[in-house]
């Protein structure tokens, strides 16, 4: 969201670098767990700054087509092209006003229900501010920590998925 002339300041340099320098700096920033840690810190900061928006979260999956030749990704159905193409799936977790809280990328997509159970819920339990304490949750069975809103992809014919999700929330 910054002007290209300001990129140098964004990455810690006094002026905009040439492309070779920019690529090496980006390579340094993306090594190890740096991007993941930065994403987690931003997510926590956003949720703490607007806790009223963090109680209702919208989850949506997006297929991102891969056009490169460096890896062989599995095929996913791309609805807008009505084809199966090599792609990854991104699961975005947003506030209802559209502010993004986190994104989870899956090269091999197990489906939205599995991603919610295995990836999204554990991270939300660690990152979300505490709206309701444990005693209130035990005393009122209808009380919940947060609400997840999903599209039709999260619907399962097997009701055991829904029961498990209700138990986790």
Decide which of 19 and 119 is more confident.
119
pLDDT of residue 147: 83
Q: Which domain holds residue 106?
A: 32-168
Q: What is the pTM of this model?
A: 0.69
Residue 105: half-sphere exposure toward Cβ, Cα within 13 Å: 9
Instruction: Note whether residue 121 is domain-resident.
Output: yes
DSSP secondary structure, 59-124, as one string: EEEEEEE---SS--PPEEEETTTTEEEEEEEEEEEEETTS-EEEEEEESS---HHHHIIIIIHHHH
pLDDT category at 5 given cuts 50, 70, 90 is low
Give per-residue pLDDT as tens, 40-85. 788 778 877 777 777 888 999 888 898 888 888 888 888 888 888 8
Domain assignment present for residue 11? The answer is no
Mean pLDDT over each residue of the chain, to the nearest integer? 79
- In-domain check, residue 69: yes
Residue 73, domain member (yes or no): yes
Does 9 fall in a domain?
A: no
């Amino acid at each position: 969201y910054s002007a290209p002339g300001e990129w140098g300041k964004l990455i810690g340099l006094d002026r905009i670098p040439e492309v070779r320098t920019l690529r090496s700096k980006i390579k340094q920033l993306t090594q190890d767990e740096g991007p993941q840690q930065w994403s987690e810190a931003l997510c926590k900061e956003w949720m703490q700054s607007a806790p009223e928006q963090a109680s209702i979260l919208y989850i949506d999956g997006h297929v991102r087509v891969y056009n490169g030749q460096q890896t062989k990704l599995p095929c996913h159905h791309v609805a807008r092209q009505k084809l199966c193409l090599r792609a990854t799936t991104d699961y975005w977790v947003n506030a209802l006003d559209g502010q993004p809280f986190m994104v989870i990328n899956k090269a091999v997509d197990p489906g939205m229900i599995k991603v919610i159970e295995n990836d999204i819920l554990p991270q939300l339990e660690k990152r979300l501010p505490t709206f309701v304490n444990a005693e209130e949750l035990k005393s009122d069975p209808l009380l919940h920590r947060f609400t997840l809103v999903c599209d039709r992809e999260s619907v399962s014919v097997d009701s055991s998925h829904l029961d498990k999700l209700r138990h986790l929330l």
